[in-house]
C-alpha cells in the first residue's frame, strides 16, 4: 500500500493517513537523505544547482512528512500517536545534529560561497547560503570530535525533555475537571459558558456541569463567577498544572524537567563559545546583544509600572468600596476587573459576543486581507482534513492560486491548548522548475457551537484569530522561491511576530469592524454605542497588561542569561524575583506559573519571549503609517505586502522595515497605542 506521507501531494491526504504510516515514512526519508547527502558533499566545485537546490529538495521532502505528523500530534493527540511522535522526534534530532555537524557538507557550502559567481546569485539565494553556514557553526561543525558527540547528546536530550514538558502540561490540563450539580454555584457565569459546561459533562457521561482547564471553560469562571471559593479552586488547579502543588501535586511535575532543560541549554551554549544560552539565542535574532534586550525590557517596565500601580490601586479601591473585599487575591483580579470595566464603560466581553459569530468573523477577516493585499480567499469543501471541524481554503490573486491553508478553530479533547500557525508546505521552486505553493495550518481553541447555537467569540478571541492569520499571511504571501528563506523561514525570531501583531490593529477600527461584526440572530451591525464603548475600553488596565508581559519576558531572558554551572537558575526563584521587581499583583505561594510555560520550555521562545514586545514595537510603528494614510490605503497595503510579507527571510528584518517605513522603528507608537504615552509624559 502506498504511504500517503511519501506522495508528492500539495495537500496531504488526511483521510488516508494512519499512525502506522508515520515512523515508516520518516525512516525511509532519513535513510534516502543520508545517502544523497553523502554524495552531494563530495563535490569538488559545487554550484547552486548541484548542491543548494538538491539539498532544498531533501529538506522539503522531510519537512512535508514531519509537518503533518507534528500537526496531528498537536490536534488529534492519543497514546499511539504520542509514542510514534516521540520515536520520530528522537530520530529527527539525531539526523539534524548529524547534518549540522557534517564537515564535508559544510566545506562544500563554503566552496559554493567562495565562487567568483556567488555575487551573481539572487539575494534570497545568497542569504540562504549565509544562513546555512551560520547554522553549521551553531550546530557544532567546528567542534572537536568529542565535543560534537556531547553536542549531539545534549540536542537529543533537550528534544526529549521539551516533549516531556509538553506532554506533562497537556496531561495535567486534561486530567483535572470539576463536576457541579447545582447550577447556582455558577452564578454570574454567562449562559454560553454554562451551555459549554453542560456539553462537557455530557462528553464525560456525567450529570450536571463540568468545568475544565481549557481556556473556553476556565476563563468565564475566572471572569464572571460570583462563587469566590470556586474561582480559587479553578485558579489553583490552573496555576499549579504540572507542578508539586495543587490537586494533582507531583503527578506530572515539570520542576525537575525544567532544571534539566536549563542545564543542557547552558552546556550547549558554552560548547559553542557563548557565555550563556541567552547569547546563543540572539545569534539568530534582530537584537544584537544581551544588554540591548535587557535595556529594552527594563525601559518599557520603567515607563509602564507607574501606570500599572495606579490601575491596581484603583481596582483594590473599587473591590473594597463597592464590594466590601479588602483582601483582593489573584483569583479575584479577573472578576473585579470585569466588574470595574462594566461600571466604567458599561461593556463586557459577553455583551459583545453576539456580534462576533465565527461564521461572520471569518469572512470578515478574509475581507480585511483581501482589501489590504489584493487577494481572494475561498473555502474548498472537498479537501480531506483530520477532523470535521477543520476546513480548507485557497488564497488567489486574479484567479491564480497563491497558497492554501486549514482552519481548525474549536477546543476538543486531545487537542493542545492555545493558538498557533505552523507550515504544512513551504513555497519554493524545485530543480525541474516546478513551484510548490505554501500551505499553512492555523489552529485555535474557541468554544465550539453548542445545541445548534453558533460559536460566538469574545473580542479577545477575534484578536487571537487575526494574530494567527497574520502569521499565516507572512508564510503564504511570500514571493521567495528559495526554501530556507521563504515565508517565515529564516525570519529573525524577534521579527516573526511583526505581521501577526500588525494585523490585530484591524480588530479595533470602525471601518474594519464593520466587516467583522454583525449580530448572529438579526444580522444587525455593531451598534454605534457599543462600538464607542469597545474603543473606549481598549486600553483598560493596559499598564497591568504590559507589566505582565514584561514579567514573562524578563523571567525567560534573565533565567537563561544568569544561569551558571556554579549557581544554576531556579525557575521558581527567578520568577518570584522578577515579580517582586515589576509585578503589581501578588501571586499566592502555591503559584507555579513556570511549570506550564510551554512557550519557553517546549516551544521556540527560549530566551526569546521578549520577541513579542520587540515585534509589538515594529507592528505599532508600521500601523501608524496606515493611521496616517487610511487603514485600507491601497498603496500602503501594497508597500507592506512587497517589503515585509513577500520578502520572507530573504533580507535582514531591519532593512525590510526601513524599506517600508522609511526609517528605523520607534517605541513611541507602542506606548501611544497602549495608552501609556500620557503616563510617561
Q: Say yes or no to pLDDT of 73 above 80.
A: yes
246 in any annotated domain = no
pLDDT digit string, tens, across residues 254-308: 999 999 999 999 999 999 999 999 999 999 999 999 999 999 999 999 999 999 9
Same-domain pairing of 75 and 163: yes
Same-domain pairing of 211 and 104: no
pLDDT of residue 671: 87
Q: How many domains does the chain have?
A: 4
Same-domain pairing of 90 and 228: no
Q: Where does a domain end: 148, 170, 192? A: 170
8 in any annotated domain = no
Q: Say yes or no to pLDDT of 677 above 80.
A: no
Q: Where does a domain end: 568, 592, 609? A: 609
Same-domain pairing of 457 and 515: yes
3 in any annotated domain = no
Same-domain pairing of 532 and 548: no
Q: Where does a domain end: 194, 215, 239? A: 239
pLDDT digit string, tens, across residues 140-189: 999 999 999 999 999 999 999 999 999 999 999 999 999 999 999 999 99
- Per the structure, the complete domain to which residue 323 belongs is given by 255-347+541-609
Residue 26 near residue 66, CB atoms below 8 Å: yes
Same-domain pairing of 260 and 302: yes
Q: What is the mean predicted confidence (pLDDT) over 247-259? A: 97
64 in any annotated domain = yes
pLDDT of residue 681: 33
| SS3 label, residue 105 | helix
83 in any annotated domain = yes
Where are the strands (E) in 348-433, listed by range?
376-379, 391-397, 400-410, 420-425, 428-429
Q: Say yes or no to pLDDT of 430 above 70.
A: yes
- Which residues belong to the active site? 468
pLDDT of residue 307: 94
What is the separation of C-alpha 596 from the centre of its chain, rounded to a whole number of angstroms? 15
**If you ran DSSP here, which 8-state letter would residue 51 be given?**
I
14 in any annotated domain = no
Same-domain pairing of 481 and 446: yes
Q: Say yes or no to pLDDT of 668 above 90.
A: no
Same-domain pairing of 35 and 70: yes
Band of the pLDDT at 452, cuts 50, 70, 90? Answer: confident
Same-domain pairing of 582 and 642: no
9 in any annotated domain = no
Q: Say yes or no to pLDDT of 667 above 90.
A: no
Query: Could you write out the three-class secondary structure of 412-474?
Result: CCCCCCCCEEEEEECCEECCCCCEECCEEEEEEEECCCECCECCECCHHHHHHHHHHHHHHHH
Q: With the CA atoms of 563, 565, 566 and 567 taken in that order, what torsion angle do they form, in degrees rounded to the nearest 10?
A: 30
447 in any annotated domain = yes
pLDDT of residue 680: 40
Return mean pLDDT, the chain: 96
pLDDT digit string, tens, across residues 365-405: 999 999 999 999 999 999 999 999 999 999 999 999 999 99
CB atoms within 10 A of CB 172: 25
Return the biggest CA–CA distance within the chain. Answer: 81
pLDDT of residue 1: 60
What is the separation of C-alpha 161 from the centre of its chain, rounded to a whole number of angstroms? 20
CA gap 584, 310 in Å, rounded: 9
Amino acid at each position: 500500500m502506498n504511504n500517503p506521507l511519501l506522495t508528492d501531494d500539495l495537500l496531504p491526504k488526511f483521510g488516508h493517513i494512519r499512525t502506522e504510516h508515520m515512523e515508516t515514512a520518516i525512516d525511509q526519508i532519513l535513510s534516502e537523505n543520508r545517502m544523497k547527502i553523502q554524495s552531494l558533499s563530495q563535490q569538488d566545485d559545487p554550484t547552486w544547482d548541484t548542491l543548494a537546490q538538491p539539498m532544498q529538495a531533501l529538506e522539503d521532502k522531510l519537512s512535508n512528512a514531519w509537518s503533518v505528523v507534528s500537526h496531528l500530534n498537536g490536534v488529534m493527540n492519543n497514546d499511539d500517536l504520542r509514542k510514534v511522535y516521540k520515536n520520530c522526534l528522537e530520530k529527527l534530532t539525531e539526523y539534524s545534529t548529524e547534518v549540522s555537524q557534517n564537515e564535508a557538507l559544510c566545506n562544500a557550502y563554503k566552496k559554493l560561497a567562495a565562487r567568483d559567481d556567488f555575487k551573481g546569485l539572487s539575494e534570497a539565494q545568497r542569504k540562504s547560503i549565509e544562513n546555512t553556514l551560520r547554522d553549521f557553526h551553531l550546530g557544532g561543525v567546528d567542534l572537536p570530535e568529542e565535543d560534537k558527540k556531547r553536542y549531539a547528546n545534549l540536542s537529543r536530550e533537550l528534544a526529549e525533555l521539551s516533549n516531556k514538558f509538553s506532554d506533562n502540561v497537556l496531561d495535567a490540563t486534561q486530567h483535572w475537571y470539576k463536576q457541579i450539580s447545582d447550577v447556582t454555584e455558577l452564578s454570574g457565569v454567562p449562559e454560553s459558558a454554562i451551555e459549554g459546561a453542560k456539553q462537557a459533562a455530557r462528553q464525560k457521561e456525567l450529570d450536571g456541569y463540568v468545568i475544565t482547564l481549557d481556556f473556553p471553560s476556565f476563563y468565564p469562571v475566572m471572569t464572571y463567577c460570583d462563587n469566590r471559593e470556586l474561582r480559587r479552586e479553578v485558579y489553583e488547579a490552573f496555576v499549579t498544572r504540572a507542578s508539586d502543588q495543587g490537586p494533582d501535586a507531583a503527578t506530572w511535575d515539570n520542576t525537575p524537567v525544567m532544571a534539566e532543560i536549563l542545564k543542557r541549554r547552558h552546556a550547549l551554549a558554552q560548547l559553542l563559545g557563548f557565555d550563556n544560552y541567552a547569547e546563543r539565542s540572539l545569534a539568530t535574532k534582530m537584537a544584537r546583544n544581551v544588554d540591548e534586550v535587557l535595556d529594552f525590557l527594563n525601559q518599557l517596565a520603567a515607563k509602564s509600572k507607574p501606570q500599572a500601580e495606579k490601575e491596581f490601586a484603583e481596582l483594590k479601591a473599587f473591590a473594597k468600596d463597592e464590594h466590601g473585599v479588602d483582601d483582593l487575591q489573584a483569583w479575584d483580579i479577573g472578576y473585579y476587573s470585569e466588574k470595574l470595566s462594566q461600571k466604567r464603560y458599561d461593556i463586557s466581553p459577553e455583551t459583545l459576543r453576539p456580534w462576533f459569530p465565527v461564521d461572520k468573523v471569518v469572512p470578515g477577516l478574509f475581507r480585511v486581507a483581501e482589501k489590504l493585499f489584493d487577494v481572494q480567499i475561498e473555502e474548498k469543501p472537498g479537501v480531506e482534513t483530520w477532523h470535521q471541524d477543520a476546513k480548507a481554503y485557497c488564497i488567489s490573486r486574479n484567479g491564480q492560486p497563491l497558497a492554501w491553508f486549514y482552519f481548525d478553530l474549536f477546543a476538543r479533547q486531545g487537542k493542545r491548548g492555545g493558538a498557533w500557525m505552523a507550515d504544512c508546505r513551504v513555497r519554493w521552486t524545485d530543480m525541474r522548475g516546478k513551484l510548490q505553493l505554501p500551505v499553512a495550518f492555523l489552529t485555535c481553541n474557541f468554544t465550539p457551537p453548542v445545541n445548534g447555537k453558533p460559536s460566538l467569540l469574545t473580542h479577545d478571541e477575534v484578536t487571537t484569530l487575526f494574530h494567527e492569520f497574520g502569521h499565516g499571511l507572512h508564510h503564504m504571501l511570500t514571493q521567495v522561491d528559495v526554501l530556507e528563506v521563504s515565508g517565515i523561514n529564516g525570519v529573525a525570531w524577534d521579527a516573526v511576530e511583526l505581521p501577526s501583531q500588525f494585523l490585530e490593529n484591524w480588530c479595533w477600527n470602525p471601518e474594519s469592524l464593520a466587516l467583522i461584526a454583525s449580530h448572529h440572530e438579526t444580522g444587525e451591525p455593531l451598534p454605534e454605542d457599543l462600538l464607542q464603548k469597545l474603543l473606549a475600553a481598549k486600553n483598560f488596565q493596559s499598564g497591568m497588561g504590559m507589566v505582565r508581559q514584561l514579567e514573562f519576558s524578563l523571567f525567560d531572558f534573565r533565567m537563561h542569561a544568569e544561569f551558571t554551572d556554579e549557581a544554576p537558575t531556579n525557575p521558581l526563584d527567578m520568577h518570584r524575583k522578577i515579580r517582586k521587581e515589576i509585578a503589581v499583583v501578588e501571586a499566592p505561594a502555591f503559584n507555579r506559573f513556570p511549570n506550564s510555560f510551554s512557550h519557553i520550555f517546549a516551544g521556540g521562545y527560549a530566551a526569546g519571549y521578549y520577541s513579542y514586545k520587540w515585534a509589538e514595537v515594529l507592528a505599532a510603528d508600521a500601523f501608524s503609517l496606515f493611521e496616517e494614510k487610511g487603514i485600507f490605503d491601497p498603496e500602503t497595503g501594497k508597500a507592506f505586502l512587497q517589503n515585509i510579507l513577500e520578502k520572507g527571510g530573504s533580507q535582514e528584518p531591519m532593512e525590510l522595515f526601513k524599506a517600508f517605513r522609511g526609517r528605523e522603528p520607534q517605541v513611541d507608537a507602542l506606548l501611544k497605542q497602549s495608552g501609556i504615552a500620557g503616563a510617561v509624559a
